[in-house]
Structure 1
Amino acid sequence: MKDQVHHSAASGYKTAADTYVKGRPDYPPAVSEWLTGTLGLDGHKTVIDLGAGTGKFTGWLVATGAQVIAVEPVVQMLEKLSLAWPQVLAVSGTATDLPLPDASVDAVVCAQAFHWFASTEALDEIARVLKPGGKLGLIWNLRDTRIDWVPRLDAIVNALEGDTPRFYTGQWRKAFPHPAFGPLQAQHFQHGHTGSPEDVIFNRVRSTSFIAALSDQQRAKIDEQIAELIAGEPQLRGREVVTVPYETAAFVAVKNG
C-alpha cells in the first residue's frame, strides 16, 4: 500500500471491531433516498464502500441493488465485514491505493471514514477509479450537540483525541476544492440511537479509535467519567433504554467530465 494507516486507526480498530459493531449507530431511513436519488445507485451501478470498516454502512449500499466493493485496510474490521456481507467483494486497500482499474466504478462512498484520509492524493485516486460523471459520497453520523448533555459527553472523548483526524474539526474540508470534482453538495438528517446505555453510550465511546487504543486503566477511567455524567443527568439516570440524538451529514461531489 502506498500510504500508512493512521496509528489511532491501526491500533484502536484492531482491537475494537466487536465493540464497533455493538456501539455504532445505524443511519436514518432518509439515507436510502440519498443513495438512490442523489447518488443514483441502482442495479446497473458499481459502488466502492471506501473505509468500509465492519460493514456498518455496507447493507445500505447492498439494498440499492448496486454491485458493492468494500475496501478496508484493517484486517480485523474486514473480517467482520466479510462475515456480515458474504455477497460483497471485500478487499484490502487504502484511499491512495485502490485495487481497481481506471474509470471502473459509478460511485465511491465513504461512511464515517473520509476524515482519515482527506487529501489531494486520496481524491486523485478516487477520481481515477470513478467514471466521468461518477459521484463521491461522504457521510457521517454525529451526536447532536443541541441536547445539553451531549457536549459534556463529547468533552470527555475529545480531551483524548491527540492528533487523530476527526470530522468535527472541519480539517477534512481542506481537501476541497479539487480539480477533478465539482462543488460539495450537503444534506442533513436527524435520527436517534436507542438502546441500553452500555451499548449506545459506553460501547460507542469505547469504539472510538483513540479510546480503544488506550490502556485498560485509562479506559476504565473514561468509563467512570461517563458513569458520573449519566448519574447526574435526569434524561439518562436510572434508565434501561436511552436515545442518543444524532445528526447525519451527507455530502456529494460529482467527477468532472
Structure 2
Amino acid sequence: MQVHEQSKGYHRGASDYVVGRPGYPPEAVDWLRDVIGVRPGARILEVGAGTGKFVPTLQAAGGDIIAVEPIAEMREQLQSAFPDVMALAGSADAIPLADASVDAVVCAQAFHWFATPEAVAEMRRVLKPAGVLGLIWNGRDENVPWVATLSEITDRREGDTPRYRTGAWRNAFPAPGFELVDERHVRNAHVGTAEQVVLKRTMSVSFIAGLPSEERADVEREVRDLIARTPELMGHREIAFPYETSMYAYRAV
C-alpha cells in the first residue's frame, strides 16, 4: 500500500503526537467490551496503532493486543511505552497475520488513512467468524468558537490529506463480509496546558508536521496568537479541549 504523502509528517511529528493527542473517554472501554468483544483471552489487533495512544484503553478492556504500524518512528515509541504489546511492521492491506487469527480488529484515529476496499478485505481476512471491526475517532467540537478558529488555521493547509471530518471514509462501506452493528457518539475532553492540548495538538497534525520549517513556524505563530487573545485559553494552568468521540462497529458475516 502506498503511504499518502501527508502521512510522512508523522515521521517528524511522532513526539508531538504523544503529548498533543487526546485520550479516550470511559465509554470507549464499555464499547470495546460490550460491542467489539475485547475481553481477557481475546486476541485483538489494532491497525494503524501509531505511538500506542489507544493501547491503555484496550488494556483497560482486556485481551492480548497486537499492533500493526507502518511508520517506524511511531512503532518505536509504542514499543518503548508498551513492551508487552506485540508491535509489527505492516499496513492495513498487508497485515502480517494468518487468516481468521484475531477476535477483533480496531482502528483508532486511523481508518481514514486506508479506507479502501483492499484494506477492508484484508481486515476481514484476519478476523475470525463473527469477529468485529471497530472504528473510533476523536473529533474536535467546532461549536466552540476558539476551536472553530483553530480549525480554520489548520484546514487551510490540509490539501488532499485524508481526514475523518470529511466523511470520505464512509465510502468503504457497505463492504462484502461486514454488517454495521453499532454507532455511538459521546463527549470527550483533552485536559492539559494550552501548550500541550492546543499547540502540540496542532503541530502533531500530519500535514502540519510535514510542512517546510518556515511554514510550520507560521502555523505556530498563528496558534500562539490565538491562545494569547482567547480568554478561555490564556492564563489558565489547565484547559479542556472539547471533543466528540465517535465509535462504529462492523461484524464479520
Instruction: Tell me the TM-score normalised to structure 2 length.
Output: 0.97
1:193 equivalent in alignment to 2:169: no
Offset at residue 223 of structure 1 (A): 1.2
Offset at residue 183 of structure 1 (A): 2.1
- Corresponding residue of 2:2: 4
- Corresponding residue of 2:130: 133
Secondary structure of the equivalent of 2:166?
coil
Task: Note the 1:39-78 alignment, pairs <5 A.
Answer: 39-78=36-75
The residue type paired with residue 155 of structure 1 is E
Q: Deviations over 1:203-251 (max 9, x none)?
A: 0000000100112211111111112222332212322321111110011
- Corresponding residue of 1:115: 112
Offset at residue 30 of structure 1 (A): 1.1
Offset at residue 134 of structure 1 (A): 0.4
1:152 equivalent in alignment to 2:149: yes
The residue type paired with residue 40 of structure 2 is G
Task: Note the 1:20-39 alignment, pairs <5 A.
Answer: 20-39=17-36
Q: Deviations over 1:95-115 (max 9, x none)?
A: 000001111111000000000
Greater shift in the superposed pair: 232-241 or 104-113:
232-241
The residue type paired with residue 9 of structure 2 is G
Cα distance in 2 for residues equivalent to 1:184 and 1:135: 9
Cα distance in 1 for residues equivalent to 2:159 and 2:229: 27
The residue type paired with residue 138 of structure 1 is L
Once the two structures are aligned, what percentage of the paired residues are identical?
47
Secondary structure of the equivalent of 2:165?
coil
Cα distance in 2 for residues equivalent to 1:22 and 1:101: 34
User: What residue ranges of structure 2 are gaps of 5+ in the alignment?
Assistant: none
Cα distance in 1 for residues equivalent to 2:245 and 2:64: 24
Cα distance in 2 for residues equivalent to 1:241 and 1:226: 17
1:209 equivalent in alignment to 2:206: yes
Secondary structure of the equivalent of 1:63?
helix
How many residues matched? 253
Secondary structure of the equivalent of 2:169?
helix
The residue type paired with residue 26 of structure 1 is G
User: What residue ranges of structure 1 are gaps of 5+ in the alignment?
Assistant: none
The residue type paired with residue 242 of structure 1 is I
Offset at residue 184 of structure 1 (A): 5.4
Cα distance in 2 for residues equivalent to 1:88 and 1:43: 14
CA contact (8 A) 2:132 2:250 kept: yes
Offset at residue 192 of structure 1 (A): 1.0
Q: Deviations over 1:136-173 (max 9, x none)?
A: 00000111112122111111111101111000000000
Instruction: Tell me the TM-score normalised to structure 1 length.
Output: 0.96
1:169 equivalent in alignment to 2:141: no
Offset at residue 44 of structure 1 (A): 2.1
RMSD across aligned positions (CA): 1.0
Greater per-residue helix proportion: 2
Secondary structure of the equivalent of 1:102?
coil
Task: Note the 1:216-255 alignment, pairs <5 A.
Answer: 216-255=213-252
Greater shift in the superposed pair: 223-232 or 36-45:
223-232
1:89 equivalent in alignment to 2:89: no
Cα distance in 1 for residues equivalent to 2:59 and 2:89: 19
Q: Which runs of 4+ in 1 moved over 6 A?
A: none
